[in-house]
Amino acid sequence: MIKDEKKYRILVIEDNPGDFLIVEDLLSEEILDPVIIQAKNFKEAATLLSSQENQFDIILLDLTLPDKSGQELINEILLAAPNYPIIILTGYTDMDFSIRSITRNISDYLLKDNLNATTLYKSVLYAIERNKYIAEIRKSEKRYSDLFRLSPQPKLVFDEESYRFVQVNKAAADSYGYSEQEFLDHTLLDIIQEEDIPKIKEMLGSGTEPEKEKLNGIRCTHRKKNGDLIEVEMYSNPILIGEKQCMSMIAIDITEKILHEERVIQAILKTQDEERYEVGSELHDNVCQILAAGQIGLDKLEEVIPAEKMTWFNYCKDQLALALMEIRNLSHRMAPAFHTDTTVELAFRKLLRSFDIEGRYNIILNIDSIVQEYPVTTDAQLNLYRILQEQLRNISKHANATEILIDVNINDDQFTMSITDNGVGCTQDTAIQGIGVANMRRRAEFFSGTLDISSSPGKGCRVLVKIPLKKIVVT
């Protein structure tokens, strides 16, 4: 018979010499050279367990000792040896008591009358291995707990169904101003800005793994205890706490990052607009004046031009007037003037007139009457103007379209502008490329908005801009 050659150290807490010898023999049948130490009462056991020199792989415990017994004995042994697996050996067949013992971290409950070498060995082996596994789990849980508690980033765990917080770390409490207990009295929806709640609910609603993945990197606005608003990026993963399905979330404060991005975007757009204004002003103030002077000169020459040359003379005069008009229109498009009484509709209609002087397109501009109730800031008007201008340029250069539809309205506190054409379209990847598209998107994002492009070959193109109303209206 092959015996287990591992060096097991086993503490047997048993006052009956006969029972101890039986246990010792049964263990020796399966284990080659076990180190078996006997404690005849609880006091001896406590002394052995309190010594740093004594380390055991497992404890075999009789429930009836001279100085302690039953549940009291179990409680004291668990306190004295919290990290050791414990197997109870008893002569009493109390099923309820055995079940209660197992739930109290007792590894096994064996009856002495039914004991044999194989049963005892298997119970010892399983208990030791199970205890190792539990120890690894505890280490892992401690590592997770330390990472969670000590992380410099706010970490929050919430119930997937109720959104109620079940755990938060110190960084979250410090960042949001709530104590840990106050946090546990709130839900995720309590700290999210109202307009972002539908988006979060929709993403968490289905409970499927792909939907949960959408929370990774999502941006939304959170509210602190004192009412301050911060912009955060949320990263989350499903986690099981007990029997409860939860989500573990990191909320990274990106308020300063967004402010920096906005300053960079503002600087880029400002530089672009200043260059346009400079070129537009140069065309208007210098080139137009030169052409106007040429017109005056032609007018003076008209009296001395022979009649047979008048056809060419008038042609040159008309071409000069056309060039002057084109340059003026171009300068106005490059350097549009926005005043306090200028509206989005007036600016758009002026742009559309200068864009389609030749009448090549059937252009429809639909602006909902509710838009007139919200005065848009001059800065926002300019950026909306530039977005429309850029897309009109794209349509003119690439679309081969005959119809352009522009819809402007306000829905759910969102300013929306849709620019649709019936041109040749393109693949989605091609549609989102290019400096012009990047500039349009930057202008929308500067006001915390979005710009989406949908297109396919032969089905035209649609640009949809959505901007929070509060970001662009005069307050």
pLDDT one-digit tens code per residue, 88-107: 888 776 666 666 666 667 88
**Residue 21, domain CATH:** 3.40.50.2300
User: DSSP character for 4?
Assistant: B
Residue 307: the pLDDT is 79
pLDDT digits (tens, 9 = 90+) for 384-426: 988 998 899 899 888 899 999 999 999 888 999 999 999 998 7
Q: What percent of the chain lies above the pLDDT cut of 90?
A: 35
| Per-residue confidence (pLDDT) for residue 431, from 0 to 100 | 56
Q: What percent of the chain has pLDDT over 70?
A: 90
Residue found by looking up tokens 């908005």 in the block:
449
Q: Are strands 461-468 and 414-421 parallel, antiparallel or unpaired?
A: antiparallel
Contact 89, 62 (CB under 8 A): yes
Distance CA 385, CA 351 (A): 8
Q: Does 279 have pLDDT greater than 80? A: no
In this structure, the number of other CB atoms found within 10 A of the CB of residue 383 comes to 25
Q: What angle in degrees, to the nearest 10, is found between the helix axes of 310-334 and 255-282? A: 160
Put the strands of the sheet holding 9-13 in their side by side order.
35-39, 9-13, 58-62, 86-90, 108-111
pLDDT classification of 210: cutoffs 50, 70, 90 = very low
Distance CA 180, CA 154 (A): 12
Both tokens assigned to 221: 């606005």
Q: What are phi and psi of 405, to 5 degrees?
A: -120, 125
In a domain, 2, yes or no: no
Structure tokens at 306: 């022979």
The per-residue pLDDT for 70 is: 84
d(CA 183, CA 165): 7
Q: Are residues 342 and 463 in the same domain?
A: yes
State the DSSP code for 192.
Answer: B
Domain-ending residue, one of 90, 119, 147: 147
Give the tens place of pLDDT for each residue, 442-463. Answer: 889 888 899 999 988 888 999 9
Residue 66: per-residue pLDDT:
93
pTM of the predicted model as reported, rounded to 2 decimal places: 0.50
**160 vs 344: CA distance, rounded Å:** 44
Determine the Cα–Cα distance for residues 370 and 90; give it in Å rounded to an integer: 84
Strand pairing category for 450-455 and 461-468: antiparallel
Distant-in-sequence, close-in-space partners of 224: CB < 8 Å, separation ≥ 6: 175, 176, 177, 191, 230
Q: In terms of domains, do 465 and 369 share one?
A: yes
- Name residues whose C-beta falls within 8 Å of residue 19's C-beta, 6 or more positions apart in sequence: 62, 89, 112
DSSP sequence for 125-173 = HHHHHHHHHHHHHHHHHHHHHHHHHH-SS-EEEEETTT-BEEEE-HHHH
Query: pLDDT per residue over 118-162, tens digit each?
Result: 999 999 999 999 988 888 887 877 777 777 888 889 999 999 889
Helix, strand, or coil here: 239?
strand
373 and 393 share one domain: yes
Q: Residue for token digits 């302690």? A: 68
Q: Are residues 352 and 261 in the same domain?
A: no
Whether the per-residue pLDDT at 345 is higher than 50: the answer is yes
For residue 4, is it within any domain? no
Nearest to 66 by CA among 43, 41, 46, 91: 41
> Residue 285: which domain range?
255-335
Domain co-membership, 46 together with 103: yes
Q: What is the pLDDT of residue 284?
A: 64
Distance of CA 402 to the CA centre of its chain: 42
State whether 70 and 195 are in the same domain: no
DSSP state of 109: E
Residues 262 and 189 occupy one common structural domain: no
In a domain, 263, yes or no: yes
Looking at per-residue confidence, does 339 or 127 come out higher? 127
- The pLDDT, as a whole number, for residue 39 is 94
One-letter amino acid of 298: L
Q: Cα–Cα distance between 204 and 254 in angstroms, integer?
A: 22
For residue 295, the model assigns a pLDDT of: 77
pLDDT at 177: 94
The better pLDDT of the pair 300, 186 is held by 186
38 domain residue, yes or no: yes
Domain-ending residue, one of 147, 175, 201: 147
Q: What is the rounded CA–CA span in Å between residue 95 and residue 202?
A: 50
- Please report whether residue 1 resides in a domain: no
Q: Which of 209-213, 291-295, 381-385 has the highest mean pLDDT?
A: 381-385
Position 24 in a domain: yes
pLDDT at 275: 78
